[in-house]
Amino acid sequence: MIDKYPYKHRDLNWLSFNERVLQEAEDEKNPLYERLKFLAIFSSNLDEYFRVRVSRLRQIKKIDKKIRKRLALKPNKQVKEILNRVKDQQERFGHIFYRELIPELATNKIYLVSEKKFDFNQSAYATEFFIRKVLPHIEAKTFLPSQEESVFLDNNSLYFVVTFKESKTLGIVNLPTEEIGRFVCFPSENEKVYITFIDDIIKANIGQLFDEEEISDCYEIKLSRDAELYIEDEFEGVLAEKIKKSLDRRKDGQATRLLYDTKMPKAVKKDLRYALGLGKVDMMPGGKYHNFSDFFSFPNPKNNPTLSHPELKTIKHSAFESGKNYFDIIRKEDQMVHFPYMSFDYVQNFINQAASDPYVTQIQISLYRVADESALTTALLNALDNGKKLTVFVEAKARFDEENNLKWGKKFEEKGANVFYSYPKIKVHSKILLVKRKENDKTIKYGYIGTGNFNAKTSKIYCDHGLFTANSRITKDLSQVFKILSGKMIFPKPKQLLISPFNTRSTFENLIEVEIENAKNGKPSGIKAKLNSLEDQKIINKLYDASQSGVQIDLLVRGFSCLVPGLDGISENITITSILDRFLEHGRIYEFKSAEDPILYMGSADWMTRNLDNRIEVLTPILSSKLKNELQTILNIQLNDNVKARYQDAEETNEYMMRNEGEKAIRSQYEIIKYLSEIHAD
């Protein structure tokens, strides 16, 4: 075996994932508004990346240089490479928007107009709109850039920096997009549609804000701040309370990127950098407009259906549609649902039935990202009204959802639920539900284990899977998980489930070792896996070992991967593809050939160190031969995608999978729709 294995840097490889998002924005086969949404996704992804990952590299820079050297940490080099790659991607982004999408909008008689191209009527409307709608939310002030840190900018908010002809002061004006939206449609008497940014309406009227100064120009900026919550002394006090108090840190955290208009003069950039207390590395050139994530809500006043994907007609689950009592259906045999191809209502209906069923005594659920006011949360509150014992575990450290999660935790507590929050150093990422029901003087447990959150909204755009089961081998282990979450058990002894951080790593390592031994002994071997990210070096080393032993490994990794595939003598038997399409691939499926009897797991954990060692995760084996075949078929369809799959090679070229002349085109998300429609046909 090789003494030292190669690994890709996760933060650099993540940029390859975001490049795949750009590829979708470039793809002319995608409807126009879908291409705009991919630009919005790219922008949103990049904002979070700078707020979390780049800020982490900046924190590493504060570590003593000798320690960094000993640990082989090179944050300066990595940040420099990140900035170079992002700069190239931003230029590509600008080309897509201005050279491709703006002209295509015009082809559809939709015109995005700037303040310099307002006609007389548009100028009058913009002024009236500014006075009536915008001005009440505007804060305009001046500051002296010679005074260090003389101005404060809110995280990820838009501002104009204003320069004056006769003064060395600078002006700062907020763009109140949260209060009034980002886009404004002008009245039109013909079939043409004219839309402008709120930015341009403010720019056209900015003279009203500084009537004592003559304005020379203004430039849009946006500051991203560190989003991590550095909670010290986690083992003291109540963690949830500490998180509540720490949420405001995001508003004034360390700056990680100032995005500015490339037309901004060098002297103004220097003044601004000094006034904000920034370094050169924090400065990132951009276009005239920022926060393209607002294009998620770009108006379609013509309601042209050809500009977006047609609405997905959800597939009806044959078993759940054939009867009203979910308990009878699940007790008869395990059932599986697949989102977004099926409705999340099946999960919500089950909880609704449990909330009102006279024989149900208890409901236990773990919530990672709580939806704001949903049928699910209403059902849980109803369960309390109906006298059910409700235990809710709320993850207080779910990034960017902490505040909403804590709010719901408080609501459940006030209604009488037993609510538990995060453990120090541990996140609860599992998506599990357990219902206890009295049947013939026995307590029967019904479980649900999913790959996605209990969130109806995200279930419409995330590809996930969920298993309903009354199999006592599974529900007995699931009951142990909730004992851990409620503090009644420290070390579980599961016989079927993989529960991180207890037996998930060791089980995966043993399963890979079995494939290695099978390959060495001439038995059938092979590993197939679909996951979001691949980062854990111990698992990667095992996969490298397996490849060198002749095990064929086919991986489908949506996001970043630290494994380098296709290297002679190291990973020549490992292939990695990535699918990026209409829906976000989010499910985790692991298949081990295990000679002639494949073992299949599904659940919440990726092959990342945090998922294996630092989170409560749950993966379930698929014990039903019918459902095992169903999930294997879905996995194989995705591994054979030759339309939206990109081959992940050592060079990170992101090339689309090639198909031979005459070969059938397989776009996996649509092939899965066909497959599920067939097996759930009436």
Euclidean distance between CA atoms 165 and 281, whole angstroms: 29
Locate 461 and state its tokens.
Answer: 């755009």
User: Could you identify the residue written with the tokens 């773990």?
Assistant: 366
Locate 272 and state its tokens.
Answer: 């601004």
Euclidean distance between CA atoms 494 and 71, whole angstroms: 36
The reply to whether 586 sits in an annotated binding site is yes
Euclidean distance between CA atoms 83 and 402, whole angstroms: 29
Using CA atoms of 368, 373, 377, 379 in order, give the dihedral in degrees to the nearest 10. Answer: -160
Euclidean distance between CA atoms 76 and 61, whole angstroms: 7
Euclidean distance between CA atoms 480 and 366, whole angstroms: 13
DSSP state of 534: B
Which among 290, 317, 338, 429 is annotated as catalytic?
429
Using CB atoms within 10 Å of the CB of residue 643, give its burial: 0 to 12 exposed, 13 to 18 middle, 19+ buried: middle
The reply to whether 290 sits in an annotated binding site is no
Distances (CA, A) of 536 to 7, 103, 211, 307, 561: 10, 45, 59, 41, 9
480 Cβ contact partners less than 8 Å away, ≥ 6 residues apart? 489, 492, 493, 494, 499
The reply to whether 369 sits in an annotated binding site is yes
Query: What is the full DSSP assignment across 552-588?
Result: -EEEEESS-B-B--S-TTTTTTEEEEEE-SSSEE--E
Euclidean distance between CA atoms 178 and 174, whole angstroms: 11
Q: Indicate the pairing of strand 574-579 with strand 588-592.
A: unpaired
Q: Indicate the pairing of strand 574-579 with strand 645-647.
A: antiparallel
DSSP state of 531: E
Euclidean distance between CA atoms 574 and 424, whole angstroms: 37
Euclidean distance between CA atoms 539 and 155, whole angstroms: 37
Q: Indicate the pairing of strand 389-394 with strand 360-367.
A: parallel
Locate 520 and state its tokens.
Answer: 């060495």
Amino acid in position 286? G
Euclidean distance between CA atoms 193 and 190, whole angstroms: 8
Amino acid in position 86? V
The reply to whether 326 sits in an annotated binding site is no
Q: Indicate the pairing of strand 588-592 with strand 527-531.
A: antiparallel
Q: Indicate the pairing of strand 498-500 with strand 389-394.
A: unpaired
| Other Cβ atoms closer than 10 A to 256 | 27
Euclidean distance between CA atoms 52 and 59, whole angstroms: 11
Amino acid in position 614? N
Active site residue 429: yes
Number of residues in the chain = 682
The reply to whether 399 sits in an annotated binding site is yes
The reply to whether 250 sits in an annotated binding site is no
Locate 325 and state its tokens.
Answer: 């009592």
Report helix, strand or coil for 261: strand
Query: What is the full DSSP assignment across 477-510?
Result: HHHHHHHHHTTS-SS---SS-EEETTTHHHHHHH
Q: Which residues are known binding-site members for Mg(2+)? A: 369, 399
Catalytic center residues:
429
Q: Which residues are known binding-site members for ATP? A: 45, 462, 558, 586
Q: Which residues are known binding-site members? A: 45, 369, 399, 462, 558, 586
